[in-house]
């Protein structure tokens, strides 16, 4: 009789211990779930084209097309650390995909369709290729200029920005010509300055 009573009490204690343990494990998992979810998340880059410009120019003594892009880029879910940025560009009626050679000039001169001259000055801390980290869920506006070894001046079909990280998969942002509304393009007076010829008396 005493033996059976002791066995019953032992089983009750074991059951209580088991439920307490399960409860503790569930609580720990609920606390760890957001952290595990965040660790397993992969960054996803999204971008918006704010403005763009194109001009004929020279790079390393070679004539071609010089492009300017003002973009806003955000890294969703997780911070993205940039190792390198590559640019590809394609034109209508041309199967070839051209490489854009990223180049930063302290100052460069541009001429618009009306013959007005402008000076482009991009601070190095706002140049896209000089940015090493895109914070999580925080959009960042930046600029990039690149040169294309092509003689004919024409509008592009698409521009592809390839973001290569130190670890993980490459992220690609595409800007398609058909999706660009020229009426929504913004003129950025922070980097563009009109060159006014000296007044002749």
Q: Residue 168: which CATH number?
A: 2.60.40.4110
- What integer pLDDT is reported at residue 195 of this predicted model? 81
- Inform me whether the pLDDT recorded for 182 exceeds 80: no
- Looking at the fold, whether 131 and 180 belong to one and the same domain comes out as yes
Q: Please tell me the pTM assigned to this model.
A: 0.76
Mean pLDDT of the 71-82 span: 93
User: Are 21 and 108 found together in one domain?
Assistant: no
- Asked whether the predicted pLDDT for residue 92 surpasses 80, the reply is yes
Q: Are residues 85 and 155 in the same domain?
A: yes
The domain containing residue 32 runs over which residues? 1-40
Per-residue exposure over 109-134, b if at least 16 CB sit within 10 Å of its own CB, e if not: ebeeeeeeebebebeeebbbbbeeeb
Domains contained in the chain, number: 2
């Amino acid at each position: 009789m005493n033996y059976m009573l002791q066995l019953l009490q032992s089983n009750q204690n074991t059951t209580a211990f088991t439920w307490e343990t399960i409860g503790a494990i569930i609580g720990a998992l609920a606390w760890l779930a957001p952290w595990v979810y965040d660790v397993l998340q992969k960054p996803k880059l999204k971008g918006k084209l704010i403005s763009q410009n194109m001009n004929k120019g020279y790079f390393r003594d070679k004539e071609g097309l010089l492009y300017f892009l003002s973009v806003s880029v955000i890294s969703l879910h997780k911070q993205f650390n940039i190792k390198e940025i590559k640019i590809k560009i394609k034109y209508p009626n041309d199967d070839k995909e051209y490489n854009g050679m990223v180049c930063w000039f302290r100052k460069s001169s541009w001429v618009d369709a009306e013959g007005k001259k402008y000076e482009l000055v991009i601070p190095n801390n706002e140049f896209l290729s000089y940015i090493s980290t895109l914070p999580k869920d925080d959009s960042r506006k930046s600029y990039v200029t690149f040169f294309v070894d092509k003689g004919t001046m024409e509008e592009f079909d698409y521009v592809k920005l390839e973001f290569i990280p130190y670890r993980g998969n490459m992220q690609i942002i595409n800007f398609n010509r058909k999706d660009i509304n020229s009426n929504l393009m913004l003129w950025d007076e922070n980097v563009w300055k009109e060159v006014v010829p000296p007044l002749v008396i």
